[in-house]
Protein backbone atom coordinates (compact mmCIF):
# COMPACT_ATOMS: atom_id res chain seq x y z
CA UNK A 1 0.00 0.00 0.00
CA UNK A 2 1.15 3.53 -0.72
CA UNK A 3 1.36 6.15 2.00
CA UNK A 4 -2.17 7.48 2.47
CA UNK A 5 -2.94 11.18 2.69
CA UNK A 6 -3.80 10.72 6.37
CA UNK A 7 -0.42 9.10 7.01
CA UNK A 8 1.38 11.77 5.01
CA UNK A 9 -0.29 14.51 7.02
CA UNK A 10 0.57 12.71 10.28
CA UNK A 11 4.21 12.42 9.19
CA UNK A 12 4.32 16.12 8.35
CA UNK A 13 2.79 17.05 11.71
CA UNK A 14 5.38 14.95 13.59
CA UNK A 15 8.24 16.34 11.49
CA UNK A 16 7.00 19.90 11.98
CA UNK A 17 6.80 19.38 15.76
CA UNK A 18 10.42 18.17 15.78
CA UNK A 19 11.51 21.18 13.70
CA UNK A 20 9.78 23.52 16.17
CA UNK A 21 11.50 21.69 19.05
CA UNK A 22 14.86 22.23 17.31
CA UNK A 23 14.04 25.89 16.62
CA UNK A 24 14.34 25.66 12.85
CA UNK A 25 12.16 26.17 9.78
CA UNK A 26 11.84 23.29 7.35
CA UNK A 27 10.33 22.18 4.09
CA UNK A 28 8.86 18.69 4.47
CA UNK A 29 7.86 16.44 1.57
CA UNK A 30 6.21 13.02 1.63
CA UNK A 31 6.14 10.86 -1.49
CA UNK A 32 4.39 7.57 -2.23
CA UNK A 33 6.23 4.40 -3.24
CA UNK A 34 6.36 5.60 -6.84
CA UNK A 35 8.11 8.84 -5.86
CA UNK A 36 5.01 10.97 -6.46
CA UNK A 37 4.44 13.90 -4.13
CA UNK A 38 1.71 13.02 -1.62
CA UNK A 39 1.96 15.97 0.77
CA UNK A 40 4.18 19.00 1.32
CA UNK A 41 4.59 21.63 4.02
CA UNK A 42 6.79 24.74 4.01
CA UNK A 43 7.11 26.27 7.45
CA UNK A 44 7.04 30.06 7.65
CA UNK A 45 10.56 31.33 7.11
CA UNK A 46 11.88 28.16 5.46
CA UNK A 47 14.22 28.75 2.54
CA UNK A 48 12.68 28.73 -0.92
CA UNK A 49 15.58 26.59 -2.15
CA UNK A 50 14.64 23.93 0.38
CA UNK A 51 11.34 23.24 -1.43
CA UNK A 52 13.11 21.42 -4.26
CA UNK A 53 15.71 19.81 -2.00
CA UNK A 54 13.09 18.30 0.36
CA UNK A 55 11.19 16.79 -2.56
CA UNK A 56 14.36 15.42 -4.15
CA UNK A 57 15.50 13.91 -0.84
CA UNK A 58 12.18 12.07 -0.53
CA UNK A 59 12.38 10.84 -4.14
CA UNK A 60 15.99 9.76 -3.74
CA UNK A 61 15.16 7.73 -0.63
CA UNK A 62 12.23 5.95 -2.29
CA UNK A 63 13.94 5.42 -5.66
CA UNK A 64 16.87 3.56 -4.09
CA UNK A 65 15.33 2.21 -0.89
CA UNK A 66 17.83 3.76 1.46
CA UNK A 67 18.47 6.88 3.49
CA UNK A 68 19.96 9.68 1.45
CA UNK A 69 22.96 9.89 3.76
CA UNK A 70 23.77 6.26 2.95
CA UNK A 71 23.68 7.04 -0.75
CA UNK A 72 25.96 9.99 -0.09
CA UNK A 73 28.59 7.77 1.47
CA UNK A 74 28.51 5.55 -1.64
CA UNK A 75 28.59 8.44 -4.12
CA UNK A 76 31.89 10.00 -3.12
CA UNK A 77 34.73 10.08 -5.69
CA UNK A 78 35.87 6.50 -6.19
CA UNK A 79 32.65 5.15 -4.67
CA UNK A 80 30.40 2.63 -6.36
CA UNK A 81 27.65 5.24 -6.93
CA UNK A 82 29.87 8.20 -7.85
CA UNK A 83 27.87 10.64 -9.98
CA UNK A 84 24.44 9.18 -9.15
CA UNK A 85 23.11 12.59 -8.11
CA UNK A 86 23.02 13.52 -11.80
CA UNK A 87 20.50 10.79 -12.64
CA UNK A 88 16.70 10.87 -12.37
CA UNK A 89 16.52 14.62 -13.04
CA UNK A 90 18.66 15.27 -9.96
CA UNK A 91 19.02 13.44 -6.68
CA UNK A 92 20.15 14.59 -3.25
CA UNK A 93 22.82 12.49 -1.56
CA UNK A 94 23.13 14.04 1.88
CA UNK A 95 21.03 13.29 5.00
CA UNK A 96 17.37 14.23 5.32
CA UNK A 97 15.63 11.66 3.12
CA UNK A 98 14.26 8.51 4.76
CA UNK A 99 12.19 5.62 3.37
CA UNK A 100 8.94 4.69 5.12
CA UNK A 101 8.17 0.99 5.59
CA UNK A 102 4.59 -0.14 6.25
CA UNK A 103 3.33 -2.84 8.64
CA UNK A 104 3.75 -5.48 5.92
CA UNK A 105 7.46 -4.68 5.63
CA UNK A 106 7.16 -2.97 2.26
CA UNK A 107 8.33 0.50 1.37
CA UNK A 108 5.19 2.64 1.12
CA UNK A 109 6.89 5.98 0.54
CA UNK A 110 9.52 8.32 1.89
CA UNK A 111 9.97 11.67 3.58
CA UNK A 112 12.43 14.39 2.68
CA UNK A 113 13.32 17.39 4.82
CA UNK A 114 15.44 20.45 4.11
CA UNK A 115 16.08 23.77 5.79
CA UNK A 116 18.76 23.39 8.44
CA UNK A 117 21.94 21.42 9.11
CA UNK A 118 21.96 17.90 7.72
CA UNK A 119 21.83 16.62 11.31
CA UNK A 120 18.63 18.56 11.96
CA UNK A 121 17.19 17.62 8.57
CA UNK A 122 17.79 13.95 9.35
CA UNK A 123 16.31 14.20 12.87
CA UNK A 124 13.18 15.92 11.55
CA UNK A 125 12.78 13.37 8.75
CA UNK A 126 13.20 10.51 11.23
CA UNK A 127 10.50 11.98 13.47
CA UNK A 128 8.11 12.16 10.54
CA UNK A 129 8.84 8.71 9.16
CA UNK A 130 8.70 7.07 12.59
CA UNK A 131 5.27 8.55 13.24
CA UNK A 132 3.73 6.36 10.52
CA UNK A 133 6.02 3.39 10.00
CA UNK A 134 9.42 1.83 10.28
CA UNK A 135 12.54 3.25 8.69
CA UNK A 136 14.63 0.08 8.38
CA UNK A 137 14.05 -1.68 5.09
CA UNK A 138 13.82 -5.44 4.59
CA UNK A 139 15.86 -7.12 1.84
CA UNK A 140 13.23 -6.54 -0.85
CA UNK A 141 11.09 -3.53 0.11
CA UNK A 142 9.68 -2.66 -3.31
CA UNK A 143 6.29 -3.27 -4.77
CA UNK A 144 6.08 -4.15 -8.43
Per-residue pLDDT tens digits for 49-107: 999 999 999 999 999 889 999 888 888 888 888 888 888 888 888 999 999 998 888 88
Instruction: Name beta bridge partners: 30.
Output: 39, 111
- Mean residue pLDDT across the chain: 91
pLDDT at 55: 97
Phi, psi of 25 (to 5 degrees): -110, 130
**Would the CA dihedral through 4, 31, 110, 124 be positive or negative?**
negative
pLDDT at 29: 98
Amino acid sequence: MHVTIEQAEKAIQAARAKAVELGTQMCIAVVDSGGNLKAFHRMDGAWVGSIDIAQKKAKTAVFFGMKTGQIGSLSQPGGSLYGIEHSNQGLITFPGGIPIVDADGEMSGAIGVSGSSVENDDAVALAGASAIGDTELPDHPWRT
